[in-house]
Amino acid sequence: MIVLDTHVWVWWVHGGEHLTQAQREIITANEADLFNAWLKEKLLEQAYES
């Protein structure tokens, strides 16, 4: 599992010019895990709002 700072995520989404090739590869390799973590957070958020 990796933890991304908000700035790193924004840079990656917008092309990653601020990131090294190795950093982009690590994020890309873990993209599914990042999405799953975000999705779980949104589901929990909705559960607490109900």
In this structure, is residue 1 part of a structural domain? no
pLDDT tens for residues 6-23? Answer: 888 788 888 878 999 999
Range(s) of the domain holding residue 19 = 6-49
Given a cut of 80, is residue 43 above it in pLDDT?
yes
In this structure, is residue 21 part of a structural domain? yes
| 3-state helix/strand/coil string of 1-50 | CCCCCHHHHHHHHCCCCCCCHHHHHHHHHCHHHHHHHHHHHHHHHHHHHC
Q: How far is CA 36 from the centre of its chain?
A: 9
Looking at residue 1, what is its pLDDT? 63
Q: Which residues contact 23 (CB under 8 A, 6 or more apart)?
A: 8, 16
Number of domains in the chain: 1
In this structure, is residue 17 part of a structural domain? yes
CB 4 within 8 A of CB 34: yes
In this structure, is residue 22 part of a structural domain? yes
Q: Is the pTM above the cut of 0.75? A: no
